[in-house]
């Protein structure tokens, strides 16, 4: 019997053992490989996804626990990488190897949804992800910048999202805030 839930705004049914870790179902059954399987014990945060809007480690959630729930992975955060967090991570050069980045972006998006202007201590408390590259100061700056972009206090002049012609980027940048109602 398939376990039904909404994955990146699409209803899905996955027929795996209900005790399968959600990260495995997302990567192997749904073929969404942006969510990383890091430590498998909930320590690193590379597998972070939004479950009903809350950032949770998908290696600690069993597939059977998400029946009827809404799951958002990094692929669902924004199809064209125009989410303020994604743009700010690039603009602040807060990405090195990139393995932890999807989990950090998900955790940051959840933080900014509940607190659009977090302080440095609030960011440190809300982003439990481990980054082996050690870009924490840049991550903090990027998350604060993403908040300013989402609040429409700042524009990002980073490279445009895929599919946007660089000459049209200046016109596209103001639309990089959070969707209305979020």
pLDDT digits (tens, 9 = 90+) for 23-57: 999 999 999 999 999 999 999 999 999 999 999 99
Indicate whether 103 pLDDT > 70.
yes
d(CA 47, CA 22): 9
Domain edges within the chain: 3-77, 84-175
Indicate whether 163 pLDDT > 90.
no
| Per-residue pLDDT, 166 | 56
pLDDT band at 162 (very low <50, low <70, confident <90, very high): low
Which position has the higher pLDDT, 180 or 135? 135
CATH code for the part of the protein at 84-175: 1.10.150.120
Average pLDDT over the chain, rounded to an integer: 89
> Which tokens go with 74?
């990094």
d(CA 104, CA 89): 10
Do the domains at 3-77 and 84-175 have one common CATH topology?
no
Is residue 94 within 8 Å of residue 139, measured between CB atoms? Answer: yes
CATH code for the part of the protein at 3-77: 3.10.20.30
| Per-residue pLDDT, 81 | 82
Q: DSSP secondary-structure letter at 12?
A: E
Which position has the higher pLDDT, 113 or 170? 113
Give 149-155 contacts, CB < 8 A, sequence gap 24+.
149/84, 149/87, 149/88, 149/176, 149/177, 150/84, 150/112, 150/116, 150/177, 150/178, 151/116, 151/117, 151/177, 152/177
Percentage of residues in the chain having pLDDT higher than 70: 86
Per-residue model confidence as pLDDT tens digits over 18-28: 999 999 999 99
Per-residue model confidence as pLDDT tens digits over 55-89: 999 999 999 999 999 999 999 999 888 899 999 99
């Amino acid at each position: 019997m398939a376990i039904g839930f909404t994955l990146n705004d699409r209803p899905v049914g996955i027929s795996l053992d209900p005790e399968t870790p959600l990260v495995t179902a997302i990567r192997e059954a749904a073929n969404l490989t942006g969510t990383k399987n890091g430590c498998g014990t909930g320590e690193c945060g590379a597998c972070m996804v939004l479950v009903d809007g809350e950032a949770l480690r998908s290696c600690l959630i069993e597939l059977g626990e998400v029946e009827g729930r809404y799951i958002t992975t990094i692929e669902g955060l924004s199809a064209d990488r125009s989410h303020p967090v994604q743009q700010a991570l690039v603009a602040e050069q807060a990405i090195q190897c990139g393995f932890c980045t999807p989990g950090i972006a998900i955790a940051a998006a959840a933080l900014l949804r509940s607190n659009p202007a977090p302080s440095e201590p609030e960011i440190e408390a809300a982003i439990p992800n481990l980054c082996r590259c050690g870009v924490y100061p840049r991550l903090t700056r990027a998350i604060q910048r993403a908040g300013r972009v989402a609040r429409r206090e700042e524009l990002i002049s980073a490279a445009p999202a895929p599919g946007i012609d660089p000459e049209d980027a200046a016109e596209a940048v103001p639309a990089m805030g959070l969707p209305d109602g979020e």
